[in-house]
Amino acid sequence: MGGLKLPPQTLHGIHCGRRPLTAPFSKHTFTIQPNYSSSISTGFAARNVALYSPSIFPCGYFILGGAREKRFGARSTKASVQPVTEELVEDKTKENPVSGDAIRRRFLEFYASRSHKVLPSASLVPDDPTVLLTIAGMLQFKPIFLGKAPRQVPRATTAQKCIRTNDVENVGRTTRHHTFFEMLGNFSFGDYFKKEAIKWAWELSTKEFGLPADRLWVSVYEDDDEAFEIWHDEVGVPAEHIKRMGEEDNFWTSGATGPCGPCSELYYDFHPERGYKNTDLGDDSRFIEFYNLVFMQYNKMDDGSLEPLKQKNIDTGLGLERLARILQKVPNNYETDLIYPIIEKAAELANISYALADDRTKMNLKIIGDHLRAIVYLISDGVLPSNIGRGYVVRRLIRRAVRIGRLLGVSGGGEDGAFLPAIAEKVIEMSPHIDPDVKARGTWHS
């Protein structure tokens, strides 16, 4: 389907920072490429427009793959999405078995072979009014968990795009914090419960991905004797590798209200030589939590009370970047093949060697790599920079990336040395396995 050419004046009134997009765009052509996609709980949407001009913004940032969103028909919570059937890897024999793309595929195939329907990622813009952005894989299934929408399948598995900004100041400073990340998940809607979820998580970790059993630790909710017994008596995890933890760590909620339940988490131990006494699973220098199993059985009410759900459900989340770090044997999530090529592009534009850079420079390059992923996928899902709501999240990320890039001396081939479009192109180049429609949602022409 051909794109729709828009005259520059149609862009008047789109605000980025304090100024509208006006005169400087007279020399550009903008192409809108409609894209029709669905999620488990949202209607159809047309995604559009790609543009940039750093000179007109006081903060010097750009818009790439931007989108105005037009909804067709009422939003629906009905699970009407079609399963993912296209095989992205044509020849698996040529595939690196621990690449990020391979890990994603292997996870989905593992659960597909156990009667889970493979469903596509939902949009980063949720239908749920209690959250600003999609923060977890379970959000598209929330109406089903609450009994407000019928289940169309008893089991599902997804690779969900997620955005979290509560830890934005930790991005680049720690080994594991991100704004944009992928959450791999398997879900049961009143079908299987704790025993199957625990056993499959262990099988996936130790057999499918080959993680050494003696390097895995488990946490359970302090009162969850059933989960402890399954891990210890049926799976065979030593008692000294199972930690009982409180509500703050092992009781998961989707928000101030909504479906929730006790959870059990899997941790990988990078330094087993440190022993087993006085072990703190929160020690980031030794452990990383990579798989969370939520036993979704309650609904948290406005007054904080818990009401049992009509059915017991399973909601899990495995951090793709975290597992990739473990399997690829790199010191942090940023140096996995999911993010490092973006960092390398930023370093190239700054004429910097990442390998030889000091810690502060590496941190700043990591921030750029992280933020560009978030910016591209947010705008691709229809979130334009603005002063409020979701748009303000994009605006802040763009300004932060530009500020840090200028400090590093990053310079691209764009107007006034604009560099974000060049780095964003690397994100888009890597996007087909995450969101195959990103490339089609917009183009920019000068």
Express each pLDDT in 164-216 by its tens digit.
998 899 999 999 999 999 999 999 999 999 999 999 999 999 999 999 999 99
How many Cβ atoms from other residues are within 10 Å of residue 170's Cβ? 12
In our burial notation (b when 16+ CB lie closer than 10 A, e otherwise), range 36-55 reads: ebbbbbbebbbbbbbbbbbe
Biggest CA–CA distance in the chain, Å, is 70
Query: What ranges in 329-358 are assigned the alpha helix state H?
Result: 340-349
Please check the confidence at residue 144 and state whether its pLDDT lies above 70: yes
Query: Alpha-carbon distance 26 to 19, whole Å?
Result: 16
Please check the confidence at residue 11 and state whether its pLDDT lies above 50: no
Q: Confidence class of residue 412 from pLDDT cuts 50, 70 and 90?
A: confident
pLDDT in tens, 339-375: 999 999 999 999 999 999 999 999 999 999 999 999 9
Is the CB of residue 138 less than 8 Å from the CB of residue 157? no
Please check the confidence at residue 51 and state whether its pLDDT lies above 80: no
More confident residue, 143 or 53: 143
Please check the confidence at residue 50 and state whether its pLDDT lies above 70: no
Please check the confidence at residue 414 and state whether its pLDDT lies above 90: no
The residue written with tokens 């700043």 in the block is 364
Mean per-residue pLDDT, 395-408: 96
Mean per-residue pLDDT, 308-337: 98
> Of the ranges 5-9, 113-117, 191-195, 211-215, which one carries the lowest mean pLDDT score?
5-9
pLDDT at res. 222: 97
Task: Give the strand pairing for 251-253 and 44-46.
Answer: unpaired
Q: Confidence class of residue 93 from pLDDT cuts 50, 70 and 90?
A: low
Q: Confidence class of residue 92 from pLDDT cuts 50, 70 and 90?
A: low
Query: Alpha-carbon distance 326 to 112, whole Å?
Result: 23
Nearest residue to 219 via CA among 308, 309, 279? 279
H/E element, 4: strand 4-6
pLDDT at res. 91: 57
Per domain, the residue ranges of the chain are: 4-76+339-445, 94-328
Query: Alpha-carbon distance 184 to 22, whole Å?
Result: 42
Which range among 64-78, 312-326, 402-416 has the greatest average pLDDT? 312-326
How many Cβ atoms from other residues are within 10 Å of residue 35's Cβ? 20
Instruction: Please say whether the dihedral angle defined by the alpha carbons of residues 441, 157, 251 and 146, taken in this order, is positive or negative.
Output: positive
pTM above 0.85, yes or no: no
The β-bridge partners of 183 are: 160, 319
pLDDT at res. 386: 96
The residue written with tokens 């990622």 in the block is 121
> Of the ranges 283-292, 304-313, 406-415, which one carries the lowest mean pLDDT score?
406-415
Beta strands (DSSP E) in 301-402 are: 306-319
Please check the confidence at residue 61 and state whether its pLDDT lies above 80: no
Q: What does the block give as tokens for 221? A: 């909710």
Query: What ranges in 48-135 are assigned the alpha helix state H?
Result: 100-112
Mean per-residue pLDDT, 368-390: 96
pLDDT in tens, 249-275: 999 998 888 999 999 999 999 999 999
Nearest residue to 186 via CA among 254, 255, 106, 124? 106
| CATH number for the segment(s) 94-328 | 3.30.930.10
pLDDT at res. 334: 98
